[in-house]
Structure 1
Amino acid sequence: MTFLRETWIVFVRQWRLALRNPVWVFLGLIQPIMYLGLFGPLLKKVVAATPGLPPGDEWQIFVPGLLVQLGLFGAAFVGFALIAEYRAGVIERQRVTPASRTALLTGRVLRDVLTLVIQAVALVLVAVPFGLRAPLGGIVLAIVVVAGLGAAFAALSYGAALRLKSEDALAPLFNGLFVPVLLLSGILLPMSIAPTWLQRVSDVNPIKHIVDGVRAYFQGDIATSTGAWGLVSLVILVALGLWFGTSTFRRESA
């Protein structure tokens, strides 16, 4: 079997499992929609009264952040399901097949990316009645970014899960990692209004550049340095995430 066929077989199995329990797809969308409905309206006066914010209204600032948050947290915890499969012996049974170890990872990641794309499209559609207005090209590019983030962090999560093999170890690892990433990314409020020292600290966070880039896309500013830095940061994260995930699957199968 070719690598693509093996990936497709793993993807189909994982997608069928997801369709058997679609409530998880729905629950993954609930949190950003709650932010949209309960937190978004509070930003109208904040945006009007705060100098130094990126261009655009409150929805063009807030919705891109929610999309990036969806890409982050929608994929970060998929490793817990892999631990359950490992304990049930599913991973061991797959290892004795001639399937590529990389395909065992990429098939799962592809399922997670598709789920995130569906959720991202739904989130944008829900945001339109609230007042979101953005160019179609910028929205499409933003959803591509969500897919890339999903691939990067799903691969990272699967790799970490396969190495740790314990929910008790995986949960504090990701909580400790994602809290500073979230706070220093400008997802909820742009880092442009932060003190200078905090802006300098956030500059080392690649997610911050991705958030800035997606906000630029929602303004139609795709061919700008801000948008370019967002894509560069995304490519680096995807490369690192897939490298870590595939190397772990290969090493654990050796």
Structure 2
Amino acid sequence: MLRHTSLFLGYELRFLLRNPVWPLFGIIQPVMYLLFFAPLLGSTTQSGSMPEVLAMFTPGSMMMIALFGSLFGGFGLINETRNGVLERLAVSPAWPPAIILGRAAKDMLVLVVQAILVMGIAMIMGLRITLPAFLLMLGLMALTGLFAATLSYGLALALRDENGMSQLVQFFAMPLTLIAGLFLPVSLGPDWLQTLARFNPLYYGVEAGRALFRDDLGDSTIPVAFGLLAVLSLITITWSMRSLRKMAG
């Protein structure tokens, strides 16, 4: 199991290293938000200081990477399905779930590297974060990426059409990001919006990230976010693996 997963992970990483610039493009938008949008939010925090603004805003920027960077990972899977590559892999002696797990592990590693870069830029701008909070945030990013990536793979195997998947992802991604409070805390909005946000798993990831950046490691949103994303990841992993087995017959 681990051997086959590591083989697919190695293959995906080698393919990624041939075009290493693309993961860097994934952090351009969040970094631009940090540089040009975060300084405008001083009035939304108690002290208005840049460290406090960054502690509120940076987790949302990082969740943007986790969501959009991973939700589009399934498009490559559709292309491999159309070319017959995935069918040949699915009926090979390799452990079938390793095809999904290897890809998901690659996505998680890329997200962790991107998260380190974004947090590094935020710290240059004035963010202060402890080592435990830093490491927990990396774990939260990896878990969010696992959920989003395996959801994308499940959609790709179910739809097998780029146009349909693009429309579906765009339709759900924008409301999810807005209701999660990526740019501003949902607590600033009306009661109905705060109630609606509690049905959005991304909301708990953002709120947990803000608690970590405040060094409030005892905040209840942290275990809720990890637990909820772990359960959702297990569901999407199971779904994508079953879709792969069904395709292989």
Report the TM-score when normalising by structure 2.
0.94
Match of 2:105 in 1: 110
Residue 149, structure 1, aligned to residue 147, structure 2: no
Question: In the alignment, is the contact (CA less than 8 A) between 2:87 and 2:247 conserved in 1?
Answer: no
Secondary structure of the equivalent of 2:209? helix
Report how far residue 21 of structure 1 moved: 0.7
- Alpha-carbon shift at residue 229 of structure 1 (Å): 1.8
Separation in 1 of the partners of 2:222 and 2:154? 29
Q: Does 1:172 align with 2:173?
A: no
Q: Is the Cα contact below 8 Å between 2:180 and 2:186 reproduced in 1? A: yes
Find the partner of 1:80 among 75, 81, 85. Answer: 75
- The separation in 1 between residues aligned to 2:171 and 2:47, in whole angstroms, is 33
1:118 Cα offset (Å): 0.6
Aligned to 1:230: 225
Deviation, 1:242, is 1.3
- CA displacement 1:182-239 (0-9 Å, x = unmatched): 1110111100111011111111111111211111111121223122222222222222
1:7 is the counterpart of 2:5 = yes
Q: What residue is the counterpart of 2:184 in the other structure? A: 189
Q: Which amino acid aligns with 1:218?
A: F
Relative to 1, partners in 2 of residues 1:95 and 1:251: Cα closer, same or farther, differing over 3 Å?
A: same
Given that 2:104 and 2:146 are in contact with CA atoms closer than 8 Å, whether structure 1 keeps it comes out as: yes
Three-state SS of the structure 2 residue aligned to 1:44 is helix
Q: Secondary structure at the match of 2:45?
A: helix
Q: 2:10 and 2:238 mapped to 1: Cα distance?
A: 23
What is the CA-CA distance between 1:49 and the residue it aligns to?
8.4
8 Å CA contact 1:214, 1:230 repeated in 2: no
Residue 128 of structure 1: CA displacement?
A: 0.9
**More displaced 10-residue stretch of structure 1: 221-230 or 149-158:** 221-230
Task: Say if 1:95 and 1:231 are closer, same or farther in 2 by CA, change over 3 A.
Answer: closer
Aligned to 1:53: none
**Percent of pairs with identical residues:** 36
Root-mean-square deviation (CA, aligned residues, Å) is 1.5
| Distance in 1 separating the partners of 2:44 and 2:221 | 23
Aligned length: 247
Moved over 6 A (4+): none
Any conservation in 1 of the 2:91–2:248 contact (CA below 8 Å)?
no
**1:40 aligns to 2:38 (yes or no):** yes
Q: Specify which of 16, 26, 29 is matched with residue 27 of structure 2.
A: 29
- Measured in 2, the distance between the counterparts of 1:211 and 1:177 equals 17
2:238 aligned with 1:243? yes
Q: Secondary structure at the match of 2:37?
A: helix
Runs of at least 5 residues in structure 2 that lack an aligned partner in the other structure: none
CA contact (8 A) 1:149 1:237 kept: no
Taking structure 1 as the reference length, what is the TM-score of the superposition? 0.93
> Residue deviations 1:41-77, cap 9 Å, x none?
1112333589xxxxx7100000111111211111010
Instruction: Report the secondary structure of 2:27's partner residue.
Output: helix
Q: In structure 2, give the amino acid aligned to 1:22.
A: P
Alpha-carbon separation, structure 2, partners of 1:95 and 1:202: 39
Give the letter for the 2:4 counterpart: E
Deviation at 1:23, TM superposition (A): 1.6
Are the counterparts in 1 of residues 90 and 244 from structure 2 also a CA contact under 8 Å?
A: no
Distance (whole Å) between structure 2 residues aligned to residue 252 and residue 86 of structure 1? 9
Conserved? CA contact 1:207–1:233, under 8 Å: no
